[in-house]
A and B are shown apart, each in its own frame.
Chain A
Amino acid sequence: MKLLSLCLGLTLFCGSALAIEVYPFENEAQEALYQDVTKELRCLVCQNQNLADSDAGLATDLKDKVAAFVMEGKSKDEITQYMIDRYGEFVSYEPPLNASTLFLWLSPLVLLLIGGGILVFKIRRTQHD
């Protein structure tokens, strides 16, 4: 019985220790905005993770900053722009359309056209046969 209560106590303790990332948001809309923004910002220390998933020291600082902005009532665009002004466009997982990102944005369309072209070509040929 003693062992059981010890286990239970430890489990409860772990539960509370895991829930470190709690900000006093005023409402659910703010919470949702925070989640949304941190998912679209890149962690600069571990560059293939977003902020939401990262536990790096800097990521924690940046999340605190995002949370503070959200509670101040700043919009998603304002917060993202703040980060881009400091860390460059690389920080955003939603890169803007410009000369250097043109290929990135258009390559799916190009692939679709090539694939579609091959498909049309093939279908026509089988119809001829």
Chain B
Amino acid sequence: MKKILFAVLPLSVFVTLIVLLYVNMGTHSERLPSPLVGKAVPNFKLNTLYSNKTLTPKDFEGEVWLMNVFGSWCPSCRVEHPVVTQLAESGVVKVIGFNWKDEFVDADRWLKQFGNPYDEILVDLKGDVAIDFGVYGAPENFLIDQAGVIRYKLVGNLTPEIIQNELMPLIEELK
């Protein structure tokens, strides 16, 4: 009896490990929780792409806005862009673009090709401000409330489902 137990033990350890790894395969995510949710938006001073302004967080005080990090070099942003456009056109929230590490000509060409739904576009050519926002991959989305506090962060593409299930309830609550 004891011998059988010792023989089965390594096998059962092996099977358990495989099961654990298999389960983890489905639930594991490379998306990280942001430590910035619940904190004030990092202080920035950025030029805009088209309107020749320099904006700071103060310019957005008093309204709820969504900051959409994008770049013309980012393939996923193309996939996400129609969804962002639809959200911006619905008018439920002010959508601000955050053009990350992009040359003007490239960004301009991209926006002319796919459309420009943004209320304003902040330009972060060197990527300094993106680091302050904890950005590590485009697209990323930040929902910022009237007091300038980050309420929600999404790494990866906005989808109609995410907007309906996660973003809209938050926007309703803030308004």
Residues of chain A at the chain B interface (Cβ within 8 Å): 44-45, 47, 57-58, 61-62, 65, 84-90
Cβ of B101 and Cβ of A57 under 8 Å apart? yes
Q: A47-B30, A85-B35, A88-B35 are in contact. Are A61 and B131 (CB under 8 A)?
A: yes
Kindly identify, within residues 26 to 81 of chain B, every residue whose CB is under 8 Å from any CB belonging to chain A.
Answer: 30, 32-36
Q: A57-B101, A61-B127, A61-B131 are in contact. Are A88 and B136 (CB under 8 A)?
A: no
Q: A57-B101, A86-B36 are in contact. Are A45 and B133 (CB under 8 A)?
A: no
Q: How far is the CA of A85 from the CA of B37 in the complex (A)?
A: 11
Cβ of B32 and Cβ of A87 under 8 Å apart? yes
Q: Which residue of B lies closest to A44 (CB)?
A: B136
Q: A44-B137, A57-B101 are in contact. Are A88 and B34 (CB under 8 A)?
A: yes
Residues of chain B at the chain A interface (Cβ within 8 Å): 30, 32-36, 101, 126-128, 130-134, 136-137
Q: How far is the CA of A58 from the CA of B137 in the complex (A)?
A: 8
Which 5 residue pairs of A and B lie closest in terms of their CB atoms, listed nearest first? Answer: A44-B136, A86-B134, A61-B127, A88-B35, A87-B134
Give the chain B neighbours of A89 by CB distance below 8 A. Answer: 35
**A51 smallest CB distance to B (angstroms):** 12
Q: List 22 A-B contacts (CB under 8 A).
A: A44-B32, A44-B136, A45-B136, A45-B137, A47-B30, A57-B101, A58-B127, A58-B136, A58-B137, A61-B126, A61-B127, A61-B131, A62-B131, A85-B35, A86-B131, A87-B32, A87-B35, A87-B136, A88-B35, A88-B134, A89-B35, A90-B32
**A124 smallest CB distance to B (angstroms):** 16
**A80 smallest CB distance to B (angstroms):** 13
Give the chain B neighbours of A61 by CB distance below 8 A. Answer: 126-128, 130-131
Q: How far is the CA of A87 from the CA of B133 in the complex (A)?
A: 8
